[in-house]
Amino acid sequence: MNIQFPEDFVWGAATAAYQVEGAAFEDGKGESIWDRFSHVPGNVERNETGDVACDQYHRYPEDIKLMQEMDLQAYRFSISWPRIYPQGTGAINEKGLDHYDRMVDALLEAGIDPWITLYHWDLPQALHERGGWPNRDIADWFTDYAVTMAERLGDRVKHWMTMNEPWVCAYFGYRDGIMAPGIKDHKLALVAAYHFNLAHGRAYNAMKAIHPNLKIGITHATQQHRALDDHPESRALAEFLWEENNGIFLEPILAGSYPQAILDKYPDQVPTLECTDLAEMNNYDFIGLQYYCDTLIRNGERVQEKLPEFEYTEMGWPITPDGFYNNIMEYVRRYNPKELAITENGMALADEVGRDGRVNDIRRQGYFKAHLSAVHRAIQDGAPLTAYLAWSFMDNYEWACGYRPRFGMVHTDYATQARTIKESGYLFAKIIRNNGF
């Protein structure tokens, strides 16, 4: 089957500051919650940290050349908030601003469109000590930071994402404690979720006041919940989990309301809704959807074990490209969004460079084709999808899993920092050149 994407469809790849930059304590950068969390023994596999990561802070010119070789049209990366404001607020670190200035200019000179994420999980530690995301003041702290970046880069960067996957930050960071800042408090998680939405909306309005032509969105770790049987309990759980994992983060932004199921389930844990807050939250130009797998449900419970009917990735996630299509179309059905972009989608494998110097990641090539087929089908069925940014441009620090899982289309040798484009990277470049496959 010949699959062709729309003429103006955008192709690119993504990373995040803490996962690739390194230079964790250089040039005036402040400490982030991930700098602190990763240095606590037992928090991360093999006690690995992002202190060096892929050293992209120093090696971005080399990486941009690889992006050109792969014909990337866009590169999504994040700004390190503590590299700009070491204490989260107050004094600005000019060396941090200068770094991103140079990087944006280098990308544009290479013909690559920079897509910037303002917050990809690395909150300044100083702000965590002032209450972090459960503190309502963070909406203003974040807005001040967003304004600084819009003033500095808004003349050259059109696409902005306020934050990355607040679902992960709120639930894994504040409810389950398995990611920074490592807190286990369900109410704090729901309060943080509310403030993520509020911070997004306030930053959107403030950035638009500076540069009205900016395209500003937010990315979300979309969760599709698949009932494997017809039990009423399975269907009910799938619907509730949609509201808990998707609705609470996107209904305020897309519809200006809060999921009633959440208000009913947690009446004493969600902050009191204020009409002015909901009006601020209800602002976006596009939504970035990030998809990796379905959550499987059987007999009214989430399936924890691996099932023989599914193939799994190095992360232990089932491969469910049909779920990707269903997930996209569910957003279209529920919210009728004006524009969507796939801002992350990819597969973790235990890749190694072969004796011939190649990384022949056959399974990842099949993964991309299957998931891009789902994207194409969704476009054909009316989804307003305008871009696909693969995760990830390169192997990098995978948070609490350390350096074990490799998501990249470029292999990173962490001992030498040598980069090798994988066969999936060459396939992706061919897809870009043909605008399809």
Domain ranges of the chain: 10-434
- pLDDT, position 183: 98
Q: Is 344 a catalytic residue?
A: yes
- pLDDT, position 84: 98
* Cα distance between residue 307 and residue 297, in whole Å: 11
* Cα distance between residue 330 and residue 344, in whole Å: 18
Residues 389/74, Cβ–Cβ less than 8 Å: yes
- pLDDT, position 223: 81
Angle between helices 56-69 and 94-109 (to 10 degrees): 10
* Active-site residue identified among 21, 31, 344, 398: 344
- pLDDT, position 1: 66
- Which of 96, 92, 103, 83 is closest to 34 using CA atoms? 83
User: In which residue ranges of the chain is pLDDT below 70?
Assistant: 1
* Cα distance between residue 369 and residue 372, in whole Å: 5
Asked if the bond preceding 392 is cis, omega within 30° of 0, the reply is yes
Cβ neighbourhood burial of 178 (10 Å; 0-12, 13-18, 19+): middle
* Active-site residue identified among 165, 243, 251, 280: 165
- pLDDT, position 74: 99
Paired strand residues for 340? 287, 385
- pLDDT, position 105: 98
According to DSSP, residue 5 is labeled -
SS3 assignment, position 313: coil
Paired strand residues for 78? 117
* Cα distance between residue 312 and residue 318, in whole Å: 4
Q: Which residues contact 422 (CB under 8 A, 6 or more apart)?
A: 351, 358, 359, 360, 361, 364, 408, 409, 410, 411
Residues 319/294, Cβ–Cβ less than 8 Å: no
Task: Look up residue 280 and give its two tokens.
Answer: 């601020």
Paired strand residues for 394? 410
Measured in degrees and rounded to the nearest 5, phi and psi for residue 167 equal -55, -45
192-220 core/surface letters (b: 16 or more CB in 10 A; e: else): bbbbbbbbbbbbbebbeeebeebbbbbbb
Kindly compute the dihedral angle of the four CA atoms of residues 120, 411, 324, 122, in this order, to the nearest 10 degrees: -10
Segment 20-53, tens digit of pLDDT? 999 999 999 999 999 999 999 999 999 999 999 9
Superfamily classification of domain 10-434: Glycosidases (3.20.20.80)
* Cα distance between residue 149 and residue 146, in whole Å: 5
Residues 296/228, Cβ–Cβ less than 8 Å: yes
Give the end-to-end CA distance of the chain in Å, rounded to a whole number. Answer: 8
Q: Which residues contact 415 (CB under 8 A, 6 or more apart)?
A: none
Measured in degrees and rounded to the nearest 5, phi and psi for residue 231 equal -65, 135
Q: Is 314 a catalytic residue?
A: no
pTM of the model: 0.97
